[in-house]
Structure formats: structure tokens, C-alpha cells
Amino acid sequence: MAAEQEQTIIEAHDAIPTPLARYPHTMEVRQLSGYSPRDGGIEPVWDGRLALYHPVKSELTRLGDEAWGVYDAFAQSPQNIAQVAEQTALDVDGVRTITDELKSRWILLTPGQEMNVTIQPNFGTEAELYLETTEACNFRCPGCATGADRYLASQARTMKSDTLETLLESTAQSVAEKGMERLRVKWAGGEALMPGSRRLLRVGQSVIDSLRDKHPDLDISQVILTNGSHLSDDVVSELKDWGAHVSVSLWGVGEENDRARGVRRDQDKYPNIIKGVERLHEAGVSYNVNHVVTPGNAGQFENFVRAMWDPESETFVGRYWNWGGGARPIPLGVTFFRPQTEAQLEALKRSGYTQMVEGLRGGFDVTRVLIERGVPIQPLDKIDYLQLFGVIPTPCGSGFNYLAAGPRGVASCHEALFSMSDNMGEIRDGANMVDLANREYVGRRHQLMGPNVIFQSNDPTTDLVLALHGGAGCPRTTRAEHDGQLGYAASTAQALYAPIILELLSLEAMRRIRVLGNQ
């Protein structure tokens, strides 16, 4: 196999120079059989081998017993077919058949062989506009990404209708000028469905309809991000008419959610939010629940997984919903808490990351049991920025095709909207929104690309997985940790992503075998 002797050439967007990386090109995936207490926490317990994961091809490959034997033997004698045959008790032709198959899948590389990989990002074809219609919110979630928890009520701005129209029209024109084919509009806040901002969404529908006529080659889709407290029958009916996908944020189950988000009014509490999600479900609106894992709620993650994914659990939120053929797991996205202040960052490094990993593992253990029971959970292909089954050039589109706009103007990230300097004047003067949002990265974009990022204290294979699958972490966190510099992985990479990669791969391999059949 001689894995350490091989080279990979990774070509990135816009001919950004990338280093040659030497790496063991496959990662062995074993069955996760549970967790055991160790040093005050829990550690994964592994059983027999399930598959090989190829980080460049983003594939899990299962091998038969003979192929495993050949794979192992080649690790010791990569150029000696006869010796491999002797070690595996196969004839030479049998070994050649297996090795030819493994080489065709790039599982085995011969000494000196180069593997050329081209990252094909969608930067040139699609853009995403995060649209903060209001800075006001009826929740006080600590560490809110747009800073709603840090605004006084008198400070929070809500867009004016003409500002909204300008932002939508300028964005559509700007992405069309860039030759992009798709624009995804994310309506957000604050809280996007509060009465004042909901009126703006209605205005926005008329603007989007006109933009579709003006730019017929531009595919415009919509997502609404909400805390779920305003999902009345009338609101859900409107959302259905708009054809938008709705993502409902939940930080826990029951009172855990209410405590974590600082809510007091009955209409803002968990039962009303779940009723709103049920209304979406019953109306046939595309939806998902998004769960933010924090140091404070991580210990309850296993309970959250049961409530979302286990139809047999008494806490399953869809227990009495109309499923028309049997209850199924709720569509779920999982993201990680991102620090907004230096104090929050230091708290994460001190103990928060450890708490989050331990909590995630509790949820993974519940997930393992659900898979073994045959519960048809969704693919485990994405958690936070980490996407193990698809090569992506950067964790997010900041610096390239991502725009965040609010009452004060446009920025490269929604986290940068908080108290930003107003640049609406430049937008009204005709500045290209894509260029304006990302001008802080001019001359530094190559430092956002995973293959160009420096990962510290990981083994080479893990580094490659992180580099190719969004594992560099948030660029804003990187800059906060490295005196404004880019080109380094955020602490999330080492402290959160790296410890859970093998567990996620194992669970996904188990899911494919148990739920989808022997694939």
C-alpha cells in the first residue's frame, strides 16, 4: 500500500496554489459498539472492521474477508504479489484480481503514483443571501450569532421596505453580473416571523416575483430561519403559499429549551414551538429542526435525539402527528455553538469543547441503538460545517459567494452584522453586493481554502479529512484566535471535529448496512 509514500495534488478554485500533501489515503472504519467511562468522560468502544473511508472520493467501501487480507498484506509488501499471495493463501491471479479492483477505487496506490484531485466548488454558480430583516427578537439566546442578545430594545433596528427592496434587487443584479445561476435567500433575524418583520417578508415575496421575471435564468429559492414561536395557522398558511423551506431552531427538550433561550411568555415556550412544527408538518410545508449544541445543553443531547428520531420514545415530538403510514424521524440539522466574545471563546477552550464532545457522544450512542433497531434515520452526512460525504473547498462561502445583509448593509458573514458600519450608501450607489460583502478577503481568499489551511496536532489522514470536508472551522473564529490572521484551522477543528470523525463514519456505515441494506 505504501500510503505514506504517495502524493496528492489538490487543485483549488481560481488556480489558488495548494501544497502537495503526503497522507495515508484511506481511513479504517470500525463498528462503534458503544462507549465506556474513562478519565471522567466517555470514550468510544470499537468492534470489527466495517469499511474503508476514502477522504478524497468521499466514499465508504466495504471489503470481503479476502480483500481485507490482501489490503493488510499490501501494507507490508506493496510490490510483492507473490509474498501477498503467500500471506493470504490466495493464488497470484486471485491477488491481482483483488488488487486491480482496489486500485481502480484508489484504495491501493502503487509507490510513486500521484492522485490528481480537482475541487469543484459552486462559487461560480450559486450565491446565498442571509437577510436579517430585524435585529429584534423575543428570545435571548446566549451567544446569538447576529447579536440579538446584546442589543438593547432601543438599539435593535428593523429594515424599512425600501431598504429590503434595494438589498434584494442589488443582490439579484450582482449575482447575475457574476454569471451565477442560483440564489438562495435565507430570511432571518432577530426573529424573522415577528409581526413587523413578517410584513417585510410579504413585501419580499412581491420583490422576488418581479426579480424572477427580470432574471429568468436565475433560480431563486427561500429558507426561513425561525425560533418557532410565531408559527400560527395563519402564518403557516402564508409560508406554504410562498413555497419556502422553514428551519425551526430548538436548543433542547421541554424546559431545557426554555431555560437555554431565556424565554418567559407561554407563547415562546417549548409546547407552542412544537405545536408550530406540527402545523408545518400537517400543512405539507418543507421543514427541519435545527439544534445548536452548546456546552450548557450538550449533556441533554441524547434526550434531544430521542425526541427527534425515536418514534417509540414517549418524548418523541411527532408521536401523535398524522404520518399517513407510520411515524418517522424528524428532519434534523445539528450545529455547534460559535463564540461571539473573547470570554465565550476562552470558556470553550477551558472546558466547553470537552463538554460538547461528551454530550455529542451520548447522542451518538442513542443513534447507534436506533440504527440497530432499524429506525430509518436520515443520512449522517453533515454536522455543523463538517461534511464527510462530499468534498467542499471551504467551511462556508464567506469570501466567495456568501452575503449577509441587514438594516445596516451587507457583510461577509451574518456574525459580522452586529453593530457593523453602515454601507447602504455604497449599495444604493451601485456597488456589486458580492464584491462589497467580501472585500475584506481580497488577496487572502486562498487562505480560506481547506487544502491551504494549517491544521495542528492531528495525524495526516485526519488533517486531510478536515481540509477537504469543511473541517477548518469558522474563519471569524480563526481570526479571533490568530490575531486577525487566516490560514489556520479554528480550534473547533482539533477540539470538536477531529474527535468525532471516526464515530460519524462508523454510524453512517452502520446506517447504510442496517437501514438501507448491505451496500
Alpha helices in 105-188 (DSSP H): 161-177
The winner for highest mean pLDDT among 23-37, 182-196, 505-519 is 182-196
- 320-358: per-residue pLDDT in tens? 999 988 899 999 999 999 888 889 999 999 999 999 999
Displacement of CA 430 from its chain's centroid (Å)? 33
Contact status, residue 379 vs residue 389, Cβ threshold 8 Å: yes
- 258-294: per-residue pLDDT in tens? 998 888 899 999 999 999 999 999 999 999 999 999 9
The pLDDT score that the predictor gives to residue 39 is 80
Give 334's strand partners. 291
Q: Which three cell numbers stand for residue 498?
A: 477531529
Q: Which is nearest to 187 in space by CA: 216, 161, 226? A: 226
Q: How far is CA 158 from CA 141, 164, 193, 412, in A?
A: 19, 10, 12, 20
Torsion of CA 482, 487, 491, 492, to 10 degrees: 140
Please name the helix (run of DSSP H) or strand (run of DSSP E) that holds residue 135, with its range, or none. none
Cα angle 50-77-28, degrees, rounded to a multiple of 5: 20
Q: Which three cell numbers stand for residue 478?
A: 480563526
Please name the helix (run of DSSP H) or strand (run of DSSP E) that holds residue 42, with its range, or none. strand 41-54
- Residue 461 confidence class, pLDDT cut points 50, 70, 90: confident
b/e code 434-471 from CB counts within 10 Å (16+ = b): bebbbeebeeebbbbbbbbbebeebeebbbbbbbbbbb
The single-letter code of the amino acid at 505 is L
Percent of the chain with pLDDT over 70: 89
Q: How far is CA 363 from CA 35, 260, 293, 348, 469, in A?
A: 11, 18, 11, 20, 22
- Residue 20 confidence class, pLDDT cut points 50, 70, 90: very low
The single-letter code of the amino acid at 382 is K
Give the Cβ contact number of residue 105 at 10 Å.
13
The average pLDDT across 143-169 equals 80
CA pair distance 407, 426, nearest whole angstrom = 14
Q: Which is nearest to 515 in space by CA: 410, 322, 387, 376? A: 376
Residue 16 pLDDT > 60: no
Torsion of CA 54, 56, 59, 60, to 10 degrees: 20
Q: Looking at beta carbons, which pairs linking 309-316 to residues 24 or more positions away fall under 8 Å?
A: 309/366, 309/367, 309/370, 309/375, 309/377, 310/366, 310/370, 310/375, 311/375, 315/253
CB-based contacts of 516, cutoff 8 Å, min separation 6: none
pTM: 0.90
Q: What is the mean pLDDT of the chain?
A: 88
The pLDDT score that the predictor gives to residue 157 is 81
- 208-248: per-residue pLDDT in tens? 999 999 999 999 999 999 999 999 999 999 999 999 999 99
The pLDDT score that the predictor gives to residue 106 is 79
Top pLDDT among 428 and 6 is at 428
Q: Which is nearest to 264 in space by CA: 253, 272, 276? A: 272
CA pair distance 385, 393, nearest whole angstrom = 11
**Local structure of 73: helix, strand or coil:** helix
Contact status, residue 498 vs residue 458, Cβ threshold 8 Å: yes
The single-letter code of the amino acid at 128 is E
The single-letter code of the amino acid at 349 is K
Percent of the chain with pLDDT over 90: 62
Q: What is the DSSP string of 164-223?
A: HHHHHHHHHHHHHHTT--EEEEEEESS-TTSHHHHHHHHHHHHHHHHHHHH-TT-EEEEE
CA pair distance 42, 359, nearest whole angstrom = 9
The pLDDT score that the predictor gives to residue 83 is 85
- 432-443: per-residue pLDDT in tens? 999 999 888 888
Contact status, residue 401 vs residue 432, Cβ threshold 8 Å: no
Helix, strand, coil shares, percent, the chain, to 5: 40, 20, 40
- 103-137: per-residue pLDDT in tens? 888 788 766 666 666 665 667 788 999 999 988 88
Q: Which is nearest to 281 in space by CA: 238, 234, 335, 240? A: 240
CB-based contacts of 301, cutoff 8 Å, min separation 6: 291, 293, 359, 360, 362, 363
Residue 483 pLDDT > 50: yes
The single-letter code of the amino acid at 447 is Q
